Amino acid sequence: MPSLKWMVPQGRPRVFGIYKRVTSIGQAVANDVAIDAASLEPHHAQLVFDGRDFSVAVVDSGAVLSVNGKNKKKSKIFHNDKLTLGDIDLVFSLYDESSTSRDPNAEATDSHTSEIEGM
């Protein structure tokens, strides 16, 4: 599943799954991706999937958006593109992060082996 990863200044990044054709992003709690940040407009931007490609576009007139460091009002986006909305950095991913992680059975085997070795 596609996702947006919010690169929080402190702590672990927060991941928002993209599961709708149109995903709203902004400060208002009614957004699909709601981030409480002063630099975001209430309805800052929207992510759109047209069946083939993803794009991002500003919604509120005062919204600031850049894609990979270039100021935009609307842009196609691709895997690992960096979106900056206000002063919030998000990374777009086409792939589910859990699908790129190790096999859960391998982890269980590894941890089991570690426990035995530690005895």
CATH number of the domain where residue 50 is located: 2.60.200.20
Give 62-111 pLDDT, tens digit per residue.
Answer: 999 999 999 999 999 999 999 999 999 999 999 876 544 444 444 443 33
Domain that holds residue 12: 3-118
Q: pLDDT grade, residue 116 (50/70/90)?
A: very low
Contacts of 39 (CB under 8 A, 6+ apart): 64, 85, 86, 87, 88
pTM of the model: 0.78
Q: Where are the beta strands (DSSP E) in 27-80?
A: 33-34, 45-49, 54-58, 65-67, 70-71, 74-77
Structural domains of the chain, count: 1
